[in-house]
A = this chain, B = another copy of it.
Amino acid sequence: MSANILGVLFRVTAFGESHGPALGCVIDGCPAGLELSVTDIEQELERRRPGGVHGSRDENDKPAILSGVFEGKTLGTPITIIVHNTGQNSADYDDLKDIYRPGHADFTWEAKYGRRDHRGGGRSSGRETLCRAAAGAAAKKLLALSGIVVRAWTSSIAGLRQPSPQEEGFDFDEIERNPLRVPCKEGVLAAVEKLREIREQGDSAGGLVSCLITGAPAGLGESVFDKLDARLAAAMLSIGACRGVEFGVGFASALMKGSENNRASSREGILGGISTGQDIFFTAAFKPTPSIAKPQQAMDREGNTREISIKGRHDVCIVPRAVPVVEAMAALALADFLLLSRVARK
């Protein structure tokens, strides 16, 4: 594990700045013989595209596979996926060269590295998540061989809570039908309306993404430090806008008694950091997009406070676009644990 390398056996090296020549990833350790095509990756990138969410910039990302796949199947060698940046307008960011945008990593990256690519946030841009989605496509294919399916959705957006899988109105098929990735047809319209309103105010919204993993056999996850939930938690918090994560009953368990919680979690998918064979459920909280049109106070390089209003087309809410990224990150963790589970016994 390092800044840009993820995983022990299914290892992803991601690269690329928002306004540089290209972004992509190299997957080292994907088993040989797995069917994988550009279409598999395109589908995931397509799901990550802005779609109908108001205000998002258009990203028409065309991936290419540069290595690791031969005659439609993986070779066991590194799989390289690349997406060339096109249509980025770096001039949009000239004004921000000496300013640290509120809620963004501008200041911290400069503090750490002494310099930064200010154009669109450089590597700290949300655009880096396309590498995750691309790598996740391969992980999903590997998981599919074992019947493991990872599905995420918007479980709350702009304050509008959506039904959970046990509740009426929840429909898995609906998720991919609407651009907000809400699991309930009735929820779409209200959310669209609410987001429009927020956008008109020059503001942005946050929300929750929930994820359900089905088909995972018992025994995934490593004991003690590298627990399944520990790795999933890191996976979620590594997504730029994520501020928290909870598993199963989550924070509510802190208020329960042992007898209640033992019952409530009797069908919990993870115990002691290892999968039980039952469904795994978790929820991640995403803060609102910090880039807003509304004037804000920002610090500049000289330490002065300046008022800025962020130009360009920005997502009013990144939650729907986080959905495939949450899935991808969960799939990458599971793929790694699936391989690790092969060496647990003599």
Contact = CB atoms under 8 A, between A and B. Distances in A.
Contact of A343 (B123, B233, B339): B339
A113 B344 contact: yes
Contact of A13 (B13, B23, B66, B234): B13
A91 interface: no
B15 A78 contact: yes
A271 to B, nearest CB: 5
A235 B237 CA distance: 12
A13 B9 contact: no
Given A107-B276, A112-B219, A266 B102 contact: yes
14 contacts: A1-B226, A5-B28, A31-B343, A32-B345, A70-B122, A75-B113, A103-B258, A104-B272, A111-B218, A111-B274, A244-B251, A260-B288, A261-B290, A262-B292
A63 B45 CA distance: 27
Contact of A237 (B124, B229, B290): B229
A160 to B, nearest CB: 10
B206 A256 contact: yes
Contact of A227 (B238, B273, B289): B238
A266 B11 CA distance: 34
Copies in the complex: 4
B29 A103 contact: no
Contact of A294 (B248, B259, B277): B259
A21 to B, nearest CB: 5
Interface string A249-266: 111011111111110011
Given A203-B257, A262-B292, A4 B285 contact: no
A192 interface: no
A328 to B, nearest CB: 12
